[in-house]
């Protein structure tokens, strides 16, 4: 057997072992989450059948912590057991729609399904699903439990699972108020769908955010910066920028040149969205957006539609990212039926979550 064949064989076996270990770790993490849910259920049901006093609950947690820590070691502090209790309280009330979202995940039939008939009507969770699907790590759920709004919590859980967000990515999306930024462009029905199904990208408007949050580029400390500096920072943090852009984006190039009528033009950033099957052109603008900027983007989009995209691809999308814009000017400049060109603000600092929540509440009245 040649050395090349030996190396190829070894690499195939190494990949197999690596993937098996990943699946083992994932299975262990999943089993741990379900176990913690069951521990929380047992604690809550004991409290419900015991004395309805805070002192009783504290004493129970203290007793369990001492005994479990002595037998199993770390991981069963009073704080951790209280978190397991809270985990059951939060997720035993989970709407069926979220459970259905993960109907292809591993199903875990908890022992509580067998014993639930022993509970009184007042003790049973009001909307407890017959099957629960936990697809994230325990650390993810610790973060999610701290989100008070259940609709917002469901949204982040769905998105984290579908997009394989790390805990850090989940924290970043929450800090940047992704839910509120997407919800601001939707009516009541759209906001409800966002909470139940996550972000569904079926048309260009579904992927647009206003504002885009670019705090990761580290420019707030600079009093002034150029468009080229902004572009370079985005390229330097391309992975995070793709996360901010949303689902289905792949990077094509920067300063992509095309020639028309013996003139050279350059598009700042070119992406392709696999879900929409369309090119996405992004131009960066410092200061207030002008109607000439919209006209230039219209020309870029027209060129790509006529000379770059194939017949089976959808119309090109253009996004102008600016620090300031007049919605009225954008509306009067673009065609009434426009669904290709969008202008959004960007900011290099995290938004005020309270302010976005206030705007969302006003929009939904």
pLDDT at 177 over 80: yes
Cα–Cα dist 252/317, whole Å: 14
Query: What count of residues does the chain have?
Result: 365
* pLDDT reported for residue 126: 37
Does the pTM exceed 0.85?
no
| pLDDT at residue 10 in the model | 82
Q: What is the pLDDT of residues 125-135, one digit of tens each?
A: 333 334 578 98
Question: Of 35-49, 157-171, 245-259, which gets the smallest average pLDDT?
Answer: 35-49
- Tell me what the pLDDT averaged over the chain comes to: 85
- Determine what percent of the chain is predicted with pLDDT higher than 90: 59
Residue 171 pLDDT greater than 90, yes or no: yes
State the pLDDT at residue 92: 86
Ordered alpha helix ranges (H), the chain: 3-49, 54-72, 78-91, 96-101, 112-115, 138-144, 150-163, 167-175, 178-183, 188-197, 227-236, 238-245, 291-307, 327-333, 353-363
Q: What is d(CA 70, CA 62) in angstroms, rounded to the nearest whole number? A: 12
CATH of domain 201-363: 3.40.1350.10
316-333: b (≥16 Cβ within 10 Å) or e: bbbbbbbbebeeeebeeb
The domain spans of the chain are 3-94+110-126, 201-363
Given a contact cutoff of 8 angstroms between Cβ atoms, the answer to whether 130 and 100 are in contact is no
Average of per-residue pLDDT across 311-318: 97
* pLDDT at residue 361 is higher than 80: yes
pLDDT digits (tens, 9 = 90+) for 246-256: 999 999 999 99
Determine the Cα–Cα distance for residues 193 and 195; give it in Å rounded to an integer.
Answer: 5
> How much is the average pLDDT of 192-221?
89
- 91-100, 110-119, 354-363: least confidently modelled range: 110-119
């Amino acid at each position: 057997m040649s050395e090349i064949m030996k190396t190829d064989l070894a690499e195939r076996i190494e990949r197999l072992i690596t993937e098996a270990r990943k699946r083992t770790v994932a299975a262990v993490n999943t089993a741990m989450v379900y176990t913690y849910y069951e521990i929380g259920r047992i604690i809550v049901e004991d409290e419900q059948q015991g004395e309805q006093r805070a002192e009783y609950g504290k004493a129970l947690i203290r007793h369990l912590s001492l005994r479990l820590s002595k037998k199993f070691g770390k991981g069963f502090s009073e704080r951790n057991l209280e978190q397991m209790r809270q985990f059951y309280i939060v997720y035993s009330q989970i709407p069926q729609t979220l459970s259905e979202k993960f109907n292809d995940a591993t199903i875990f039939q908890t022992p509580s399904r067998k014993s639930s008939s022993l509970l009184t009507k007042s003790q049973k969770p009001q909307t407890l699903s017959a099957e629960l699907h936990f697809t994230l790590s325990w650390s993810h759920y610790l973060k999610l439990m701290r989100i008070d709004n259940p609709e917002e919590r469901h949204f982040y859980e769905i998105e984290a699972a579908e997009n394989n967000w790390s805990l850090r990515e989940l924290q970043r999306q929450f800090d940047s108020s992704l839910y509120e930024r997407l919800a601001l462009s939707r009516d009541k029905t759209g906001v409800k769908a966002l909470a139940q199904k996550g972000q569904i990208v079926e048309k260009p408007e579904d992927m647009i955010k206003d504002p885009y949050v670019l705090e990761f580029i580290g420019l707030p400390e600079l009093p002034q910066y150029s468009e080229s500096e902004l572009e370079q920072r985005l390229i330097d943090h391309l992975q995070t920028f793709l996360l901010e852009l949303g689902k289905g984006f792949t990077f094509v190039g920067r300063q992509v040149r095309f020639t028309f009528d013996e003139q050279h033009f350059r598009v700042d950033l070119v992406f392709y969205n696999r879900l929409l099957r369309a090119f996405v052109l992004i131009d960066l603008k410092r200061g207030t957006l002008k109607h000439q900027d919209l006209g230039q983007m219209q020309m870029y989009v027209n060129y790509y539609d006529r000379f770059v995209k194939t017949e089976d691809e959808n119309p090109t999308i253009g996004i102008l990212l600016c620090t300031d814009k007049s919605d009225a000017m954008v509306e009067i400049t673009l065609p009434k039926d426009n669904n290709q060109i969008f202008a959004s603000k960007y900011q290099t600092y995290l938004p005020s979550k309270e302010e976005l929540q206030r705007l969302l509440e006003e929009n939904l009245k």
